[in-house]
Amino acid sequence: MNFKEKLARFFYGRYGSDQLNMFLMIVCMILLFFAFFFPGVPSYILRGLSIVLMVLSILRIMSKNIDKRRRENVVFTKILFAVRSFFIRQFNRIRYIKKYRYRKCPGCKNHLRFPYKKGVHDVKCPKCGKNFRIKL
């Protein structure tokens, strides 16, 4: 049996890598990068945090509790999606500031986009169906 087969047999039934592991490793590398620029105690703290994150990532990769690791990754991806959508929404607000205005529905808190026409408008939310007035 060669090394490749032994390695495949060892990793059989283990979780492996996912988006959360990639994020942990990227944060680990960023912390190590900044540790070079801060001498003394801050360097030790940053290196220690990066080692903790690296060990956590390796333990997640080697874990046989696949269901729990999958649930952790689902929670992480939901948080990541919320953060990304927030920044995309803010970028679009700035990008289209001359064409559109953005408001929240008072019923469902959904973000709505309206063409920029000055005045008071009666609006119906497409998600919850609530009627309300907005002033642009």
Are 36 and 64 contained in the same domain? Answer: yes
Are 34 and 90 contained in the same domain? Answer: yes
Are 121 and 104 contained in the same domain? Answer: yes
Tell me the per-residue pLDDT of 77-129, one tens digit each, with 9 for 90 and over.
999 999 999 999 899 889 998 899 888 888 888 888 888 888 898 888 988 88
What per-residue confidence (pLDDT) applies to 39? 85
- Give pTM, 2 decimals: 0.73
What per-residue confidence (pLDDT) applies to 1? 75
Are 121 and 133 contained in the same domain? Answer: yes
Are 87 and 108 contained in the same domain? Answer: no
Are 85 and 24 contained in the same domain? Answer: yes
Are 91 and 112 contained in the same domain? Answer: no
Coil, helix or strand at residue 16: coil
State how many domains the chain has. 2
Q: Say whether pLDDT at 68 is over 90.
A: yes
Are 106 and 76 contained in the same domain? Answer: no
Are 88 and 28 contained in the same domain? Answer: yes
What per-residue confidence (pLDDT) applies to 81? 96
Other C-beta atoms lying within 10 Å of the C-beta of residue 96: 13
Q: Is the dihedral of CA 78, 84, 88, 93 positive or negative?
A: positive
Nearest-angstrom CA–CA distance, 135 and 120: 4
The domain of 115 spans 99-136
Coil, helix or strand at residue 108: coil
Mean pLDDT of 3-32: 91
Amino acid at 90: Q
Nearest-angstrom CA–CA distance, 109 and 103: 9
Are 7 and 43 contained in the same domain? Answer: yes
| Cβ–Cβ under 8 Å, residues 104 and 112 | yes
Are 90 and 111 contained in the same domain? Answer: no
Are 21 and 79 contained in the same domain? Answer: yes
